[in-house]
Amino acid sequence: MKILVAVKQVAALDEDFEIRADGRDVEEDFLIRDLNEWDDFSLEEAVKIKEAASEPVEVVAVSVGPEEVDESLRKCLAKGADRAVRIWDAAVEGSDSIAIARILAAAAKREAPNLLFAGVQSSDQSFASTGIAVAGLLGWPHAAVVSALTYSPGAKTAVLRRELEGGLLHEVEIQCPAVLTIQLGINTPRYASLRSIKQAAAKPIEVLSLADVGLNTGAVGEAGSLSRVRRMYIPERGRAQIIEGDAAAQAARLAEIIREFKGASA
């Protein structure tokens, strides 16, 4: 039984970042990379299923990206993934989440897992689309924003809960194999000590090209995307009126605001 976990190495912005000359992205230098927060949870969920199972379950982490992504894949291996696969080709540049999904779907066809997990969204671009787009391409049953999951390896169905707006949960029974996008808080991701990450270097990361997963360059990049970035810019920030002074002065002004409000609503 195999669970494929699609992970993304996201980029956060460093201090005083700058927009690239072509105006369509941030300067590379100011990007700090790390494993997507949601993927900690989806990977942990897969490893939990593996550890609770009486039969062998293989957890495979897959990601699309250049060599630096290996660092995040190694973290996944340290946290309990058995294998890792990375797909990259220069043509992938400029892909939106849908083009990435095409690559992940091709990898999924190659791996033939019983379950495919992805995070609900990534902390950088928050498309919240990739996982479900993969499901569409595979033609698999799917559910998004899963905050609780009950599944026995190899079973025909799984029972899950979708986390809806406003603190409501919706329980659903879904046929398997299925694609599930996993929400924060579904479990407590384990800590991967640096030693275990270093030791995970012994587990290999398979690097594949587009051809290896049966895709041509027309399926990815801008050609394979459903949107295109025209312009990226730093927005005008809403301006809050800053209350100056030391803590006592600030608190005094705040107390005034509170009393005004209470007076108005009295």
Partner 1 sequence: MSGILVIAEQRRGELRPISLELVGAAIGLERAGEEVAVAILSDSPDRFVSPLSVSGVDEIVTVKTASPEFDPDAFESAVGALIAARTPDIVLAAHSVDSFGYAAALATRLGLGFATDVFKAERIDGELVATRGGYGQKVNVEVDFPGRAAVLLCIRGNVFKPPEQSAAPRVTSFEAPPVMSRSKGREFIELSAGDDVDMTAAEFILTIGRGIGEESKVPQFRELADAVGATLGCSRPIADAGWLPKSRQVGQSGKTASACKLYIAMGVSGAIQHLAGMKHVGTIVAVNTDAEASIFGVAKYGIVGDIFEVADELRKLF
Partner 2 sequence: MSRTDAVTRILFEAFGKAEVRLFYLIGYAAIAVFFYGVYVQVRKYRRGAALKLDGGLWKRLGDMVSAVLSHRTIDRRDRGAGGAHRLIFYGFMLLFAGTATITLEYDILEPLFGIRFWYGEFYLVFSLVLDVAGVALIAGLLYMMYRRGWMRLPKLDYARPDRVPGDPDFNRPQYRREDWAFLWILLIIGVTGYVLEAARLVWLQDRADIWDTRWWSPVGAAMADGLRALGLSAHAGGELRHGLWWFHGLIALALIALIPFTKVKHIFTAAASLMVRDPLAAQRLPRVPESQAEAGAAKITDFNWKQLLNLDACTKCGRCHEACPARAVGAPLSPRDVILSLREFAKATLESGEVPKAAELDIHGKAPGQVAMETLWSCRTCMACVEICPVAVEHVPIIVQMRRKLVEDGAMDPLLTKTLQTIHKTGNSFGESKRKRGSWSKALPFPVKDARKEPVDVLWFVGDYASFDPRNQKVSQLFATLLREAGVDFGILYDGESNAGNDVRRVGEEGLYEVLATANVNALSSASFKSIVTTDPHSFNTIRNEYPDFGGKYEIQHYTTLLKQSFAEGRLRVANPLKYRVTFHDPCHLGRFNKGYEAPRELLALLGCELVEMGRCRANSFCCGAGGGRIWIPDPVGAEKPAQNRIKEAAAIPGLEVYVVSCPKDLTMFEDAVKTTGNEGKFVVKELIELVREATVARTVAAVSA
Site for partner 2 in 41-80 (CB under 8 A): none
H or E element, residue 72: helix 70-78
Question: Scanning residues 137 to 156, which ones bind partner 1 (CB under 8 A)?
Answer: 137, 141-145
Q: How far is the CB of 193 from partner 2 (least distance, A)?
A: 5
Member of 22, 68, 139, 191 binding partner 2 (CB under 8 A) = 191
Cβ proximity to partner 1, 126 vs 199, nearer residue: 126
Residue 201 engages partner 2 in binding (rule: CB under 8 A): no
Q: Which residue, 166 or 195, is less far from partner 1 as judged by CB?
A: 166
- Do 121 and 128 form a contact (C-beta atoms < 8 A)? yes
Closest contact distance (angstroms) between CB of 199 and partner 1 is 30
Hey, what are 41's tokens? 């949870």
What is the DSSP pairing of strand 115-119 with strand 2-6? parallel
Other C-beta atoms closer than 10 Å to the C-beta of 167 total 6
Report cis status (omega within 30 of 0) of the bond before 177.
yes
Among 193, 209, 227, 250, binds partner 2 (CB under 8 A): 193
248 scored as a contact of partner 2 (CB under 8 A): no
120 binds partner 1 (CB under 8 A): yes
CB of 122 to partner 1, least distance (A): 10
Q: Is 16 in the site for partner 2 (CB under 8 A)?
A: yes
Of 168, 167, 183, which is closest to residue 120 (Cα–Cα)? 183
**3 near 46, Cβ under 8 Å?**
yes
CB-wise, 201 or 226, nearer to partner 2? 201
| Smaller CB separation from partner 2, 188 or 209 | 188
Cβ atoms < 10 Å from Cβ of 31: 15
CA 57 distance to own-chain centroid: 22
Give yes or no for a contact between 94 and 222, defined as CB atoms under 8 angstroms apart. Answer: yes
Residues that bind partner 2 in the complex, under the rule CB under 8 A: 14-16, 32, 34, 188, 190-198
